[in-house]
Structure 1
Amino acid sequence: MAHLDWSETPKTPLVVNGVTLEYRCHGPAPDQAPTIVMLHEGLGCAALWREFPAKVAARTGMGVLVYSRQGYGQSDPVDLPRPLDFMTREAVEVLPHVLDRAGISRCILFGHSDGATIAAIYGGSVEDFRVRGLILMAPHFFTEEMGLAEIAKAKEVFETTDMQQRMAKYHRDPEGAFRGWNDVWLDPGFKAWNVGEVIDYLRIPVLAIQGRDDQYGTLAQIEEIETRSYAPVDTVILEDCKHAPHLEQPELTLDAVAEFAARLERIEAAEVVPA
């Protein structure tokens, strides 16, 4: 049985390392089907996936778990400043416990932006046979000047417009959510950040999705996966699409996700040998 209240409006808290995390569930519980665990972007949260998780559950027949990391959405606030290796810490110190608390036995990690990086770090750093595949949407493995320039623009917008008030509709602590992301990416020490080595250790199939016009990262991020991974990698590059394929090209993104999930299930079925 799932350890959580498996519903879109759960009453049972998700507590990891003493921190209460907001979450929502769609589709079948983990004891009934595999689960897709969705990890949001740097300014995202459970609610900002909008209707996409429910559509993923409907198309794949799998359960979907979305949660807000500490400092985002309605989850507990986070102490600032975040460490420069916050994505690695999230992958190694928090995500394993989320999977445990949810009672997950088979899953696909589906991350967007920072969430995709966290998923990739998990796949390349933690030996966890529950994780059967990765969907990495607009991932980051190293910094790029064009991406840092966009993040600097975001800081100016946050400080000169009503962005904080708009974020307050979704985030309990909008300033903490913004600063926890923006301050790290703009820290001079972060320019040298590079976690590409985790790709070398991936041993599960990967689906990489990116908009051709992504303003936060070039296709070099996707090429890094293609050239370094020993595991199978499928790539989907979407035209007329920037940093949020699930919002800008939702049907094409959903098609790619559903096809990848179905193929993993076919592989699983083919590997089952009758006693």
Structure 2
Amino acid sequence: MQGDHSTVAAADQRVRIDWDGRPVDIEVRWVGAEGDRPLLVFLHEGLGSVAMWKNFPCQLCEAVGCRGLIYSRPGYGRSTPRPPNELWDPDFMHRQAEQVLPALLRALGVAAPYWLFGHSDGGSIALLHAARFPDAVAGAVVLAPHILVEQISVDSIAAAREAYEQTDLRGKLARYHDDSDSAFWGWNCIWLDPRFRDWSIENDIATIHCPLLAVQGLDDEYGTLEQIRGIARRLPQTQLLELPDCGHSPHRDQPGAVIAAARALLSGHRGENRSVCAAR
């Protein structure tokens, strides 16, 4: 990322940052009551966006007494699409964690500490951000995160490619993304790239010292329980929640259980998680 200058545009709907020497507009939504409350930053899945979270962030923020910040990463939702022929490199999640998210928080005037709530790729990005900025993150909840590439993930992502090319999946994604090809092919191509098979953040996360809650469904079609159990082996402060009758999206399949566990985690560390938002 080149430079530090960022501006807020269109109230709280779009934030312009400078990333890799080019301006990028980030779709942003604030939820929850303002005031002296902990801030919870939501990081979406590999095909997600602000809109795809639906009402869950509002429900969670109301339950735990937080202010919520939801955003769409570049290439997703209403944010600047991926350039037409741009292919992501295996470090794409590191770049989101170490470049894009810090630039967005600076643009919004968000001061540490803050909490992170990440799903799937967003969960991995949350872990990488907490590892890179250990003093800034008060704690994190990660749903179905990836810490290494498993065959089950590759097989399901290959099946998603077939569905995108042969079914109405493209049309369904168009409800949530200005450019569904930008969102889908950025994610799909890198996950199926042979260079990505050796991707792992198992060593990267060793510097995390904040409280963690790692959640995974027993029926997750994109990863096994090794993903969250691997986190717990390396980070003993991790609380695990393994949910039956639950696939890759615990916040959709088992929202009550996720909210209850997140509320318990945050309430146990309430005094450690004040942050300030200078811009709305």
Give the one of 113, 116, 119 matched to 1:112. Answer: 119
Aligned to 1:200: 206
Aligned to 2:50: 46
Aligned to 2:37: 33
Structure 2: distance between partners of 1:211 and 1:50: 20
Give the one of 15, 22, 42 matched to 2:27. Answer: 22
Q: CA deviation at 1:99?
A: 1.8
Please give the per-residue CA displacement for 1:124-180, whole angstroms capped at 9, x wherever unaligned. 1234x3310011110001100011100000000000011111111110110110000
Q: Determine if contact 2:114/2:137 at 8 Å carries over to the other structure.
A: yes
Give the one of 128, 138, 162 matched to 1:121. Answer: 128
SS of the counterpart of 1:115?
helix
Paired letter, 2:95:
R
- 1:240 equivalent to 2:245? Answer yes
Structure 2: distance between partners of 1:267 and 1:93: 25
Q: CA deviation at 1:256?
A: 1.0
Structure 2: distance between partners of 1:177 and 1:61: 32
User: With structure 1 as the length reference, what TM-score do the two structures score?
Assistant: 0.90
Give the one of 237, 261, 278 matched to 1:256. Answer: 261
Please give the per-residue CA displacement for 1:187-245, whole angstroms capped at 9, x wherever unaligned. 01111111111221111111101111111010001111111115x11111111001000
Give the one of 81, 89, 97 matched to 2:87. Answer: 81
Segments of structure 1 that go 5 or more residues without pairing to the other structure are 270-275
Structure 1 residues 159 and 20 mapped into 2: Cα distance closer, same or farther (>3 Å)?
Answer: same
Paired letter, 1:173:
D
Structure 2: distance between partners of 1:45 and 1:165: 15
Q: CA deviation at 1:72?
A: 0.4
Structure 2: distance between partners of 1:138 and 1:12: 28
Aligned to 2:3: none
Q: CA deviation at 1:78?
A: 1.4
**How is 1:139-158 mapped onto 2 (pairs within 5 angstroms)?**
139-158=145-164
Paired letter, 1:219:
L
Q: CA deviation at 1:28?
A: 3.1
SS of the counterpart of 2:269?
helix
Structure 1: distance between partners of 2:272 and 2:49: 32
Aligned to 1:211: 217
Structure 2: distance between partners of 1:219 and 1:12: 36
> How much is the aligned-residue C-alpha RMSD, in angstroms?
1.9
Structure 2: distance between partners of 1:16 and 1:172: 19
Segments of structure 2 that go 5 or more residues without pairing to the other structure are 1-6, 275-280
Structure 1 residues 149 and 236 mapped into 2: Cα distance closer, same or farther (>3 Å)?
Answer: same
Give the one of 184, 187, 196 matched to 1:181. Answer: 187
Q: CA deviation at 1:104?
A: 2.2
SS of the counterpart of 1:14?
strand
- How many residue pairs get aligned? The number is 261
Aligned to 1:135: 141
User: With structure 2 as the length reference, what TM-score do the two structures score?
Assistant: 0.88
